Amino acid sequence: MYKAVVFDFDGLIFDTESVHTTIYKEMFESHNVEFPFNEWIQNIGTKSTFSIYDLLEKEIKEIDREQLKKMNKEKLETRLNALKVRPGVEEILKEAQAMNLKIGLASSSDYKWVSSHLDRLGLLHYFECIMTSDDVAEVKPHPELYLLAAKQLGVEPEVCIAFEDSANGSLAAKRAGLTCVIVPNDTTKHLTFPEVDYRLSSMADCALVELVGKLSDRKSN
């Protein structure tokens, strides 16, 4: 019987990933260079030494990196302020509360980024714990974030459902022993995912009580 749900943040609750992708694509196009989409998406959901600016500089030899970063930051702030929560997210959160499920969050981003957006979106109060890169030595695809979230919620990983949108995130959830539901966004739908337990195109596609029933049936078979 499931006792908790743990959400990713970027790309799942709030599709910052597709906004970032569009901004970087525009940056490459403005320099008449093809955007390296396939290389870019492999780094979604984790933190690494990968730099999109290094790739652009490799193509055109010389860029005004600081000016580009400033311009992209301004674009990001404007577009995120107009961005809404992904469909079905708040409904799932409300259902989880009604079902007396514990609710946590595990993100490879830092706490300030996650909490400020959740607060602005009116979702912060739903979460009993928020685990971020500030709390762990290694982020996704390492399982540490999910293991810590389960521990903070006071439950075993085996009775938690993770909602993810990226390959790195779903790998972290499965490595930690959680049941994983993948809900790709417009960017991550192009990824190849590790073995997950269920896939939705949108959280609006299935009521939580129905989803829990399906996952429980699969677990018992």
201-216 per-position pLDDT tens digit:
999 999 999 999 999 9
Residues in the chain: 221
**Residues 25-75 pLDDT 10s:** 999 999 999 999 988 888 888 887 789 999 899 888 788 999 999 999 999
The predicted structure's pLDDT at residue 221? 66
C-alpha radius of gyration, the chain, whole number: 18
Ordered alpha helix ranges (H), 99-207: 111-121, 144-153, 167-176
Choice among 10, 135, 165, 197 that is catalytic: 10
- Domain positions in the chain are 4-15+85-220, 16-82
As given in the structure block, the two tokens for residue 158 are 């085996």
Assess contact for 7 and 102: CB atoms under 8 A.
no
**What is d(CA 83, CA 57) in angstroms, rounded to the nearest whole number?**
30
Assess contact for 211 and 181: CB atoms under 8 A.
yes
Q: Residue 136 in 3-state DSSP?
A: coil
What is the mean pLDDT of the segment spanning 141-162? 98
**What is d(CA 4, CA 101) in angstroms, rounded to the nearest whole number?**
5
Catalytic (active site) residue 119: no
Between the alpha carbon of residue 189 and those of residues 11, 17, 114, 181, 201, the distances in Å are 11, 12, 22, 14, 9
Residue 219 predicted with pLDDT over 90: no
DSSP 14: B
Average pLDDT across the chain, whole number: 94
Provide the angle, in degrees to the nearest 10, between the axes of the packed helices 144-153 and 167-176: 60
What is the mean pLDDT of the segment spanning 116-134? 97
Provide the angle, in degrees to the nearest 10, between the axes of the packed helices 16-30 and 65-82: 140
Choice among 8, 15, 165, 197 that is catalytic: 8
Amino acid at 112: K
Catalytic (active site) residue 10: yes
The predicted structure's pLDDT at residue 194? 83
Positive or negative: CA dihedral 36, 37, 42, 43 = positive
What is the mean pLDDT of the segment spanning 13-34? 94
**What is d(CA 32, CA 108) in angstroms, rounded to the nearest whole number?**
32
* The CATH number of the domain covering residues in 4-15+85-220: 3.40.50.1000
The structure's pTM equals: 0.92
**Residues 90-112 pLDDT 10s:** 999 999 999 999 999 999 999 99
**What is d(CA 73, CA 75) in angstroms, rounded to the nearest whole number?**
5
